[in-house]
Structure formats: structure tokens, C-alpha cells
Structure 1
């Protein structure tokens, strides 16, 4: 099955051109959303990926509709490949069902790994320079009392996680991590 994914960054933009191209490319199912590509939380993309089965093909109009960074793109393409599915970007002429498309995918993976390594090197150098000047890196620790309050609010089941984070200032990630630690 050919599954399409179309995305625009704002509510004001139209998906029509992408949807028309995906239909013309033979997509039987099309997932759409109006979310920034910089956001990692894109429910319709997740649904499209979850519904991919071996032999399916995920089709997008352009690569930047799928991901904004090379690293995120490679991670997504790797997920598609692990499911035994293929990938097609109509406008970029990338088709992993062909030998040339698989080769291009391999080159993208090399560049993504290079980009990741450069970022790691820069981060390490920046942290070392900061330590040399007496600075300590990392995020500030969340007050344990705030975390305990967030857990108590969570246990009441009267509030959503978003409401709890707003009331306490504890991030979702910190709350979920604390809940996981409590279960262990």
C-alpha cells in the first residue's frame, strides 16, 4: 500500500497541492497535519509510521515535509526501513525501491552521522571551555518538593499532565521520569 504524508507549517497554509500530488502518485491513504517541521510531536506522522507494514511505501511531496534536520530524517527513514517498507519523495526524486534511491539513502545516512559527530564535538568543546572558566553545565535541578507535588496531583487523576506541569513548573519529562522511578 502507498501511504502519503502531507504537512504544512501553519494553519493558514493549504495542503491541497501536496494531497493532489500524493493522490496522483497512487496513495491509498493520506495523513495530513498542520504542524511545524521543527516539532518532534507530530501525531499524524506517528500514525502514518505506525500503520506502515512490510512492503508498504511512505510517500511525501518533499523531504522537508518529513523532517527539518538530516538527523531526524535519517532516524525516520531508518524506522521505515526497519518495518520493511520503502520511501518515496516525489519532488526530490528519491525512491528507495530503486538501487539509486537506496544509494542516495546511504549517502544521507553518512552525512547525518557526520552532522551528529560534529555537533557532539562542538558540545564537548563548549562544555570544556565553560568548565575551564568555572561554569557547571546542565539544566538546573527541579525542586524535589515540586516533583512530589506534581506526583500527588497526578495521583488524584483530577488534572491532565499539561495542567499539572503548568501548576507546578515541573516538565512533562521530569514528571514521567519520577513516576517511572516510583514504579521501579
Structure 2
């Protein structure tokens, strides 16, 4: 039975080093790059974590903050209940508290988790409202050139937008150099390469 850590950032461009600062204390660190809006059970690294839990390999999970599990209160509490049912103790570093004490659910933790989960959900809703309001304001001023809220570029549109990065990669440049020459982030270059490979 092992002690592991689950780390999550919202985008591939974000740095995980702050969350991984104590990674040497754990037998394994699951590094997730997915939005908090994505349900925990639908994330790639979370699925691997669940598989390891189901195999009985994990006794303790550490996360830096509760919102690493999600931004939806129901999703957060569902995962806490699941961990408890599997006798896996969850430790949230910023509040210094375990989900279980003496192998029984910690009622104080559950109460605090409910409050923090609601805060995380409200923060996400407020962020979305601010984003929508900002777009509407930009439209009124005639300055909005982006896509409509809630829409996404297709893979084909994405590759077309970053065709200069494609060209650098086809010329044999490294990801970092292709990103620099194309004037984009490393995360964008990685996605371009991934889509190019899927088309090959």
C-alpha cells in the first residue's frame, strides 16, 4: 500500500512545479493537465489513479487544494465518498487535514470540504460570467475578433491556424524551437505535433 499525489493544472502550458515541490515523498505522482470543469472520473490520469485504487495499491492520496478534484461540489463530495469507501485517506495540504481518522470518515473534514467545494463552484461560475460579460462588452465596442463563447476550433482549423509551426516541425525542428520560431507556446506546438501524428 502506497502514498501517492495527484497534481492538476488546467492547461498544458501551466507549470506543475509548485504542486510537485514535495514529490519525493510519494511513490507515484499523477500529473493531470485538464480543466477543473472536467469530471474527475473522465480525466486520463485520474482514471489511472482509480485503477490503482481498485487494485488495492493505494492507501493515501495527497492534493495541494481541494479544487484539484474539481470545481463542482457534487463531483468533489462524490470522490471523497469513493476514497472513503475504498479506505483511501485523502490529505489536502493547504488545510492540513485528512478525510479519515482511525479509518473512519472525519466529520470536520467533510464539513470543511463542503464549504470549500461550494467556494470552488462559485469561483468557476463567477469566472464564466466575467468571461461572457467581457466578450459581450468587446462585441459592443467592435473589438471582439474571437470565436463565439462555448465554441471550439476543429482540429483542421487548429492546424490551419498554426501552419507555420507545422512547417518548422516538418523541417525537423524540435518542439521548443518550432514553438519559438512560430511565436507560440510549447503547449500549442505539442498539440500541433500530436494532431500531425494522428493524421499521418
Q: TM-score, normalised by structure 2?
A: 0.49
**Alpha-carbon spacing, 1:54–1:44, altered in 2? closer, same or farther (3 Å):** closer
What is the rounded CA distance, in whole Å, between the counterparts of 1:15 and 1:71 in structure 2?
A: 25
Residue deviations 1:119-164, cap 9 Å, x none?
A: xxxxxxxxxxxxxxxxxxxxxxxxxxxxxxxxxxxxxxxxxxxxxx
Contact 1:94–1:101 (CA under 8 A) maintained in structure 2: no
**Structure 1 gap ranges (5+):** 115-184
User: Structure 2 residue aligned with 1:93, among 93, 96, 101?
Assistant: 96
Where does structure 2 lack aligned partners over 5 or more consecutive residues? 119-200
Q: Give the drift of 1:33.
A: 1.3
Cα RMSD between the aligned structures?
2.8
Secondary structure of residue in 1 paired with 2:18:
helix
8 Å CA contact 2:63, 2:93 repeated in 1: yes
- Size of the aligned set, in residue pairs, is 111
Equivalent residue, structure 2, for 1:18: 19
Aligned to 2:60: 57
Shift of 1:85: 1.0
Q: Kindly indicate whether the alpha-carbon contact (under 8 Å) linking 2:52 and 2:58 is maintained by their aligned counterparts in 1.
A: no
Pairing 1:34-53 to 2, within 5 Å after superposition: 34-40=33-39, 41-52=42-53, 53=56
Output one character per residue of 1:71-101: Cα deviation in whole Å (capped at 9) or x when no partner: 1111011111111111001112221243798
| Cα shift at 1:36 | 0.2
Task: Normalising by structure 1, report the TM-score.
Answer: 0.53
Alignment of 1:118-157 (within 5 A): none
Give 1:76's match in structure 2, choosing from 79, 97, 101.
Answer: 79
What is the SS of the residue equivalent to 1:19?
Answer: coil
C-alpha contact 1:2 1:27 (8 A) present in aligned 2: yes
Contact 1:22–1:61 at 8 Å: present in 2 too? no
Q: Secondary structure at the match of 1:17?
A: coil
Kindly indicate whether residue 10 of structure 2 is the aligned counterpart of residue 9 of structure 1.
yes
SS in structure 2 of the partner of residue 11 of structure 1: coil
Paired with 2:64 and 2:110, the residues of 1 have a C-alpha distance of: 20
Moved over 4 A (4+): 108-112
Q: In the aligned structure 2, how far is the partner of 1:111 from the partner of 1:30?
A: 27
Q: Which residue of 1 aligns with 2:150?
A: none
